[in-house]
Structures are given as C-alpha cells and as structure tokens.
Structure 1
Amino acid sequence: MRNIGVIAHIDSGKTTTTERLLFYTGRTYKIGDIDDGDTQMDWMPAERERGITIVSAATTTFWKEYRINIIDTPGHVDFTAEVERSLRVLDGGVVVFDAEEGVQSQSETVWRQADKYKIPRICFINKMDKLGADFEGTTQEITDRLGAHPIIVTYPIGKEHEFTGVIDLMIMKAFVYDKDEKGVEYTTTEVPSDLATKAAEMRAKMVEQISETDDALMDKYLNGAEISIPELKAALRRAVIAYKVVPVYAGTSLRNKGVQPVLDGIVEYLPSPADLKTV
C-alpha cells in the first residue's frame, strides 16, 4: 500500500496529473478535464468553476497489485494550511513541476513543508510539450532552489511540439506515445539513435548517483563491476525512503505522455506504511 499526495504550485498540472493516475489505473473510465469541470478530485462547485483545488480530496486506486491512496492537495498559496494538514498523514509525495516555469514560489513552500514532515518524494516534470520546456534546467533548479538531490529516471524524447515520449534509463528503452491520443497504449522501442549517446551519459550519471548512496554498490562501481537493475532499484528505493534523493520523471499529463512510469515510480520507490518508523 502507498499513501501519497500530489503537491505542486498552482497551474503546474497537479490535478490533471492526478486525473491521469486514476485513468491509467482503471479507477476512472473517462479522463476528467479541468476546463470541462468534470474532474474526480475537484468536486466542489467553486473548484470546478474556478478550475483550482481548494480542499484536499482523497481516493483509492490500484497499480500492479499495489493499493495507492491518493490525496490531491491545493496548489494556491491561499490554501497552504490545507496542504500542511494533508502532509501530516502522507507516507510519500509526487511533486509536480511546470517544465517551462521550473521551481516556483509555492513549489518551494510545499517542498519545505514536505521536508518538515520528512516525506519521501518523487518529482514529475510536467508540460514537456509546452513552449520553452526545459527538463534539465528544471532539474537543476530542484538542486539549486530546493537543496535536493534529483536523480533522473526517465529522460524526455524531444520537447515542446516534438515531445513524443520518454527514455527509461533503468532499462534503456524508449516509450513512444504514438498509438492513441489517450496514451493508454505506447510503443516500447530501442533508444532513438540521435539520443543514444545522451541517454548513455544520463544512465551512467544515474548509476553513479545511486551508487553514492550505498557502500556496497559504490565498491562495485569503483571496481568496474556490473550493477544489476534490481540492485539499482533496491538502492534507489532505500535512498528515497531515507530522504537522500528524489527520482525525476518527464512527461505531459495533458497530452497523456510519460505518466505510467510515474505510477511505476510510486510503487517502486515510495514507502509503504511498514517502511516508515513509528514516530
């Protein structure tokens, strides 16, 4: 089981991301749209009219046999107290960033709140289809402005109108969303040739960063030994739960690309209640 919250600065695509999480897990059979006022999580008339989250809303879904309890929190600065109230009961968080805007003021506020309550988290850099989207720049801001240690797990294929999918750096495969507009089906292919060198560099950096969190892996890394994917994932999970690092994912919720890997990240790297010490 995972008890998670989705948190972000307003207009980062937080509720849209939550709606996709529910759709891809089968919790809903129609994608809720803020503009249409039919989202599952923004249920109050004032929320649907204004297109913002005012109070936290909770629901339950399942992904790969894991139960996920999701709380969608407000993103507007006026409702910061509501966010903090929700954070007290969370075991993990998905922090959503706008790829063009980067780390914004409320992003910093909710991040500090999550630090206060020692909430392990993963990051989703959303809106990769947006003009001016800058994945690596936003990742750097997560380091510079939030003092975090991001580890890129999925890397974008293209950006803006040319964004077509992501590269999973763990397995070095590309997920290309070219089969249907809803993003339910996608093609798993080899890494595109024009990104092969970059992807190899990014994976090498990821392996080094994960190894730095684990003495046994660091010994293998320094000795040039092969580190298996299960070893990498297990070490990354331990590091996330210990608040050492934050995995980073790329995508666009509105265009339905790159969301399923975030679901995988939730169950693979965020803690269950049993993983956390009783305070």
Structure 2
Amino acid sequence: MPTLNLGILAHVDAGKTSLTERLLHTVGVIDELGSVDDGSTRTDTLALERQRGITIKSAVVSFALGDLTVDLIDTPGHPDFIAEVERVLSVLDGAVLVVSAVEGVQAQTRVLMRTLQRLRIPTLVFVNKTDRSGARYAPLLESVAARLTPAIVPMGEVRAPGTPDVGFVPFTPARLRAPLLDVLAGHDDALLAEYVDGGVTDDRLRASLVRQTGRARVHPVYFGSAITGAGVPELVAGIRELLPAAGGRTDGEVEGTVFKVERGPAGEKIAYARMFSGTLRTRDRIAYGDGREGKVTGISVFENGTAVDGTSVAAGRIGRLRGLADIRVGDTLGRPSGRGAERHFAPPTLETVVVPRRPGDRGALHVALTQLAEQDPLIALRTDELRQEISVSLYGEVQKEVVQATLADEFGLDVTFRETTTICVERPVGSGAAVEFNGREPNPFLATVGLRVDPAPAGSGVRFRLAVELGSMPYAFFKAVEDTVRDTLRQGVHGWEVTDCTVTMTHSGYSPRQSHAHQRFDKSMSSTGADFRGLTPLVLMSALRRAGSRVHEPMHRLRLETPADTLTAVLPVLAKLRAVPETTGTRGATSVLEGRIPAAAVHELGLLLPGLSRGEAELDAVFDHYAPVARGTVPARPVHSPGLRGSSCRARVRASGRGPVHAGHARLGEPSREL
C-alpha cells in the first residue's frame, strides 16, 4: 500500500492546525471537529499547546485516501519553534503550505517556501480563511506570485469571499488550459512544441501538471476555509493526485531517520522515525547514530488517526520505536546516510541563563534541561562551571516562556531567566600554529600534538584534517584529538563558538605500551587517550590566539512597509539601531524599505515602530548572515580555561620518567614551535 508523508506548514495563525482537523473530518477519521481555541484538536496534545492555542511540537496523524496511506505531520508555525520544522523536512514526500487570505504572505511563509523549493519538496499552496472579512483573491494570487514563486497554477476561483457562504469553484479543463500552458510550457519543451503545433490535449496538460508538481517545479494553489470546509475536498483530491508517494524497497537494507524524540509515561524514550528502506521489526538490533546500537522492544505505526501497536515498520512509513535508550534526534538508523544532517534554517541567535529560584534545584535543572535538549538539540545547553550557570539557546521570547512553563509543569522546577542576549560566532582572521612535544617541558602529557588553524569560507563549518601519516600512531589517539578539537572550538578567544575554519594536525607522537623485563605492563609510561584530550585544548587555543579571531554578529534581512509620510521619522531610528537600508520604493501610499539590521536590534525596532507609523507599519526580519562586529564594541562571553584536564599526568610523568617516544612529523614543511 503506497504511503505519502505529508507536512502541513505555515506562518503562525494561518490556520494550519485547523486545516489538519478539517482534513481528518473530511476523510472520515473524526466525526466532530476539534477547535484550536477550545484546545480540542487531535494534533495539539500538549497541555501547553491547548492553553496557548499554538502548535509547539510536531505531531503525526494518519488517514487513508483510497489505496494511499497519508502520514500527516502538523508542524509549528511560530518562528520560535522552527527547529521542529527543521527536523520534519528531512522526512517529507510532499507539503501543503498554508497562507492566510487576510494577512497574506508573511515572513515565515517566505522562509518556508524558499526552503521547500531548495529541497525540491513537492508543495501545494492552500489559501485559508477565505470566509474572513478582508479576504482577498486576485491580489493574494499576485502576492503569492511576487513574494513566493511565479510558478503557481490557480486551480479555481473564490465565490463570495469574506462571507460565511464562501465557496471554491474549481476551474473546468477549458478554463484551466491558459494558466496551465503559461506555467508548464516553461519547464516542458515537448509540451511547448505540441502547443505550437496546436495538439495539446487536456489529458496531456494534466499529466504534465502531475509530473511537474511532483518535481517541485510548479505549485498548484487552492482556496478555501478550514472553518467552513470550503475548498478542502478539492485540496484532498489534489493531495491524492498531484503529490508523489514515498519510494524505497521494503526488502532492502534498513535505513531510516529519527526526526522526533519524546518520553513516555515511565520516562522511556520514544523515537519517531521515517523509514526510507527496508523493514524494521520488533526485537531487531539496529545500529544508529555514531556507532551506537540497541534493540527495538516495541513499534507502533499510525493508522486511521491514531498510533497502533505493530510488529514492524516498513520503507515509506513513520513508526514510533521503543527500547533505544540513548537515541537522539537526527540519528540515522541502519545504513549511514546524509539525510537529516543538513541544516535548513538559521541556528538560534539568542541565549539566556536559566536560574532556579531554589539554589538546591541546580542539579535537577541540569537533568531537566538535558532531557529537553534531547527533544530539541538546538537548545544547546552550555554550562559555566565557574559560575554554576546553565545557558540555553533560543529563537525568541515565546520559546523562553514555553521552556519556563515546561520546567514547571513536567519537572516541578520554578525558574527565572537572565536578560536575553545575542549569540555571536568567531571566525579566524589569519593562520596560526602551535605544538607541544612529548618529553619536553612544560608538557605534562605523554603526547605530541601540533595544530594549525586556517580560515575557511563562510558557512563551511569546522574541518579537521591530517598532515601526518595516519599510521604514525593508533587511530584512537587521532580520534581523541579530532573530537577534542571540535569540543574546544565551542568557545574561542572571546568566548563564542569558532566556526568556518580548518584545523590541521601537523605533529603527532606518543609513548607506546611499556613493560619491564619479567614484569607486568607499566601503564604510567604509556600514552592514553586522556593525554591527547588533555593536551589538545592547550595547543589549539595557542594556535587560535596566534591566528587571531574576529567576532561576528547575526544580521537579519529587513523588509519594512510603512506609510510614506512616516518614513522620515523611521529612518533616523533605523540608523540609531545600526540598520543599513539597501533599497526603498513606493507602492501607492506605502513606502517599502529593504536592508539589513543586527539581530540584537530587531526586538527594539518592533517596539518602536507602532508609535512611529500610527500602528500601520509591517515588519519582516529573518536571519540572513553573520557580519563582523564594529571595532570597539566587540561583545564577549566568559572564557573557561581549558586547564590541565590531565593534571594527574604531570605527577605520574615526573614520578615515573618517560619511555620511548614515537612521533609523526609534519608534511607541510613549516617550522614547529614549542609553547
């Protein structure tokens, strides 16, 4: 039985969860519609979601369309919870992007559409809320074409928009011919040739629409209302006909991706996994992540609106897996693959310190936040051991409120937060090298480590490479160095994470296993992984200081629409907030300004705009890139010294003396330097 894994995506309050509820009602899964306002929808199951009327966690529900099984994933619309959408994208076969007929194309709508197009996920557009006062048809289509994509095909028109009697009237094949030909011929040379020859049939046009929608080249647009049900049957038919079913062989090698982890009633982990190949069964042992392995003790799949216990989950389906105690979001099941590894959206740009009201709760707080980070890795816990503080990364203030409420409701912890600050990054500005040799003071470790840090292109992350022979010492020691390099670069010279650099190991050396004649093995004279883990941070930070690093702050792409007569009042405020206007234009009585603004200033601008624009300004700001911070205003974060984590090595080395040293030398011809 074919399966379609379908995502429902939208800007917050566009009616995404209401549409999910209406879809379930239309296909017969539920007899009575739930309400977001009443907290009675099928997919918003968390108490916090019901209280706030917003989706916080992605939820899966299933229904049948003939012989097609649809696993529908309802995702959050609020930008503070974009991480949930991030993880879902890697498991989708198709998507429905919901747009409000009243508010139109909003900031998050554009972010989502750009990502769906980049990933080539087949997408239908559903314009919701056509029953609301102020709903638009033709202007909305123009906005979708201008601000999302010109490759759209309106599948019908709206009757009586803005009234409870609104209806969606599908175009007849004759009425649909012109818009179809205009869009499809641009991507189909054979169709264009047939059109020129005058021989394009309606069936040929429809077949091209199905093919090009499945390849994410065009996007059919439906109009309707999740509240009244208008247009929803036509959308259901479009989902069935136009979106491609999942592929993958059920008898192939097992491959899947974990996109969500939650905890059950007894605190056990439950992993949501999309299977791309093979069949996973109860009691199977499965490898996952970076070499971990576990036994699947329970499987449930989604059928007819609920999760039911089963014995297996096959390629194309989503299953809930039990028994994998250390499973994490993003883990690959079975055969390694790159699915889910790519980051589709910007990382969090804000952070805050979480403070327990009762000092005795510090340990419990760390445990609770660790569990939350399992479900949302982008929370990115950071512990300041010196100050006994825990920081978390955030997308916005709403997410902070949700973390606070979750800690209170689920863990009984009363917490407050310090002021939210912006997360910066560091990038090397030059090259720097350092080395410590085994057997030479003041190195207390039985290890030789030489490292060079070089800048790399923006967005490339951290790359580790070797300029010594791989066989010069045991692989475990190289692995210890690489892992420690990545761990150490979480805080640079100014305390921020270091990125976009290449770290090259230029020197290596170790003391092999030592033993005295007729005596047992003498561990104190032999190198261990701890020697390399202790020495690497010292060498790396010395190399980074020699290279120099510059702090970069997150910058947002700014789009501001404001009454033209208020622009003169807005511009000085933008300058004060270090915003850089790039283009300005007018649309009737409205000025449209686009440019860049530091992420740290977006919140303040949002507070000031209503007073500057009589409450009529519309602000869109989404992350765009990192830019160097102006000199003299460099923000810093407390830096923890890497210290001598193997300080016990100092005593043991001096007490026992040193054995023979095996070394690997640099290939690059650069002089080594002793610190």
What TM-score, normalized to structure 1? 0.83
Offset, 1:231: 2.1
Counterparts in 2 of 1:1-279, with a 5 A limit? 1-161=3-163, 163-171=165-173, 200=175, 203-228=177-202, 230-274=203-247
Distance in 2 (alpha carbons) for counterparts of 1:23 and 1:217? 38
Q: Secondary structure at the match of 1:167?
A: strand
One-letter amino acid matched to 1:270: L
2:190 partner amino acid: A
Aligned equivalents of 2:66, 2:162: Cα separation in 1: 31
Distance 1:206 1:167 in 2: 17
Contact 1:169 1:203 in 2 (8 A): no
Give the letter for the 1:221 counterpart: Y
Task: Decide whether the 8 Å contact of 1:100 with 1:132 is kept in 2.
Answer: yes
Q: Sort the Cα spacing of 1:27 and 1:248 in 2 relative to 1 into closer, same or farther, 3 A.
A: same
Secondary structure at the aligned position of 2:98 is classed as strand
Aligned-residue offset at 1:170? 4.3
Specify the code of the residue in structure 2 equivalent to 1:6: I
| Equivalent-residue separation in structure 1 for 2:210 and 2:56 (angstroms) | 32
Q: Is the Cα–Cα contact under 8 Å of residues 23 and 29 in structure 1 kept in the other structure?
A: yes
Which residue type is aligned with residue 84 of structure 1? E
In 1, Cα distance between equivalents of 2:237 and 2:138: 21
Equivalent pair of 1:148/1:246 in contact (CA under 8 Å): no
Give the number of aligned pairs. 249
Q: Deviations over 1:249-270 (max 9, x none)?
A: 0101111111011111111111
In structure 2, C-alpha distance between the alignment counterparts of 1:43 and 1:5, rounded to whole Å: 18
Contact 2:151 2:183 in 1 (8 A): no
Distance 2:224 2:139 in 1: 15
CA separation in 2, counterparts of 1:65 and 1:37?
Answer: 32
Q: Is the contact made by 2:130 and 2:166 (CA closer than 8 Å) also made in structure 1?
A: no
Q: Deviations over 1:161-189 (max 9, x none)?
A: 175322212447xxxxxxxxxxxxxxxxx
Please give the secondary structure, in 2, of the residue aligned with 1:247.
strand
Instruction: Indicate conservation of the 8 Å contact 2:35/2:41, yes or no.
Output: yes
State the secondary structure of the residue aligned to 1:79.
helix
The runs of at least 4 aligned residues of structure 1 exceeding 4 Å deviation read none
Structure 2 residue matching 1:118: 3-state secondary structure: coil
Structure having the larger proportion of residues in strand? 2
Write the distance in 2 (CA, Å) between the matches of 1:203 and 1:128: 25
**Conserved in 2, the CA contact under 8 Å of 1:93 and 1:122?**
yes
Whole-angstrom CA distance in 2 between matches of 1:116 and 1:107: 14
CA RMSD of aligned residues (A): 2.1
Give, in whole Å, the separation in 2 of the partners of 1:66 and 1:234.
19
- Could you list the runs of 5+ residues in structure 2 that have no partner in the other structure? 249-275, 277-336, 340-675
SS at match of 1:274: coil
Mapped partners of 1:155, 1:206: distance in 2: 15
Query: Is the 1:124–1:248 contact (alpha carbons within 8 Å) kept by the matching residues of 2?
Result: yes
Distance 1:154 1:64 in 2: 24
Letter in 1 for 2:7: G
Q: How much does 1:206 deviate?
A: 2.8
Secondary structure of the residue aligned to 2:109 is helix
Distance 1:160 1:83 in 2: 31
SS of aligned partner of 1:115: helix
The structure having more radius of gyration, on CA atoms, is 2
* SS class of match (2:163): helix
Cα distance in structure 1, aligned partners of 2:188 and 2:138:
25
Secondary structure of the corresponding residue to residue 273 of structure 1? coil
Distance (Å, rounded) in 1 between the aligned partners of 2:159 and 2:194 = 31
CA deviation after TM superposition for structure 1 residue 148, in Å: 4.3
1:129 and 1:159 in contact (8 A); partners too: yes
Give the partner amino acid of 1:149.
Answer: A
Contact 1:221-1:227 within 8 A present in 2 as well: no
Alpha-carbon distance in 1 for matches of 2:70, 2:6: 7
Q: Under a length normalisation based on structure 2, what TM-score does the superposition of the two structures give?
A: 0.35
% identical aligned pairs: 37
Aligned equivalents of 2:194, 2:97: Cα separation in 1: 32
Amino acid at match of 1:86: V
Tell me the CA shift for residue 69 of structure 1: 0.8
Q: Give the partner amino acid of 1:222.
A: V
SS in 2 for 1:59: strand
In structure 2, the residue matched to 1:191 is none
| Whole-angstrom CA distance in 2 between matches of 1:96 and 1:233 | 23
Q: Which has the higher helix share?
A: 1
Supply the distance in 1 between the matched residues of 2:6 and 2:141 (Cα, whole angstroms): 22
